[in-house]
Amino acid sequence: MTDKKRIGVLVMSYGTPESMESIEAYYTHIRHGRPPTEEQLQELKDRYAAIVGGVFPLREHTNKQVEALQQALDAGGGDVEFVCFQGLKHASPYIEDGVRQIAEAGIQDAIGIVLAPHYSVMSVGSYIKRAEAIASELGISFRFVKSYYARPELIEAFAERVKEGLARFEGGDNQVRVLFSAHSLPEKILQMGDPYVDQLLATSKLIADQVGLPSWQFVWQSAGRTADPWLGPDILDVMQNLQREGVKKILSCPIGFVSDHLEILYDLDIEAKQLAAELGIHFERIRSLNQDPRYIGLLRDIVRELADQAPGQYDM
């Protein structure tokens, strides 16, 4: 009886600080080594403090997703042993740390997957680039998932949540405006032929068609504060426009995120909800995927499918 082949699975995500004390280092890393001003740092700390439980639930969701994926892969059996490692863009363990841990475990064959369904060279592409750089130094062969925005399991999981969300309103679905959203990026990606916008619109339409939505649109959220223009319109501006049009009910569907993070629990649940109250709008948000069995099962299936592919990058 031979030993099973071992394949490392690098699960990548943006990362969050582990405590209020680590927010400054986290913010400095996001700013490419430039420390934030006292005012900027305090504003970010206040946002984390406003969330029930502070920073801890944010990190916990990602940890649980990785644990759930490991369990799903272990339960599948087969002649391959998959070993999951975590790699974060802006917090420890960093992407480079995760790749080194794979090498230290004696594994030379690996798969990289990002906890984000939609590809942009500035998001998923940057994760892959960093992993590839250290992997080449360590002699690790990688296959990377670039995107999985149209997989049926993903669409079904979101569609179920949209139906649940619509049920919270009185008076019928035709009075509710559904706003699909994702994290904005600098507008310059449009000149780069980046697929991010098209993939998000495709996901939105697939969900809307499956649910049979009478009224929906796509908006952006959580834009950065830089000199460069970012993709819009922003959800807060759209909400004000909709109020002027007479819309009284909004269901927020942040399809660009797969778990509860700052952009969900603060930007939507606090900031957008406060604005809705001021505008006299009934505002609801769909449940995040977090450890949804269909989402974890989708990640498992993609990893297993990639195990049979040659090294490279793949849209799944």
Sole residue written with tokens 């660009």: 256
Q: What secondary structure letter does DSSP report for 316?
A: -
Alpha carbon distance 127, 2 (integer Å):
35
CA angle, residues 51, 56, 61, in degrees to nearest 5: 100
Sole residue written with tokens 């959220």: 221
pLDDT at 227: 87
Taking 3-state DSSP, the helix, strand and coil percentages for the chain, each rounded to the nearest 5, stand at: 50, 20, 35
CA distances from 233 to 7, 69, 167, 181, 247 (A): 42, 35, 27, 10, 17
pLDDT at 214: 87
Q: Which residues of the chain have pLDDT under 70?
A: 1-2, 54, 56
Asked if residues 226 and 122 have their Cβ atoms less than 8 Å apart, the reply is no
> What are the start-end ranges of the E strands in the chain?
5-13, 80-88, 109-114, 141-147, 176-183, 216-221, 249-253, 282-285, 312-315
Asked if residues 97 and 135 have their Cβ atoms less than 8 Å apart, the reply is no
pLDDT at 53: 73
Q: What is the arrangement of strands in the sheet containing 109-114, beginning at the earlier edge strand?
A: 80-88, 5-13, 109-114, 141-147, 312-315
Phi-psi region of 112 (alpha: psi -120 to 50; beta: other; left: phi over 0): beta
For 39-64, b where at least 16 C-beta lie within 10 A, e where not — what string?
eeeeebbebbeebeeebeebbebbee
Backbone angles phi, psi at 314, to 5 degrees: -135, 140
pLDDT at 171: 80
pLDDT at 154: 98
Q: Which of 313, 309, 307 is nearest to 76 (CA)?
A: 307
**pLDDT tens by residue, 286-310:** 999 999 999 999 999 999 999 999 9
pLDDT at 1: 42
Average pLDDT, whole number, for the chain?
95
pLDDT at 126: 97
DSSP reduced 3-state for 132: helix
> How many residues comprise the chain?
316
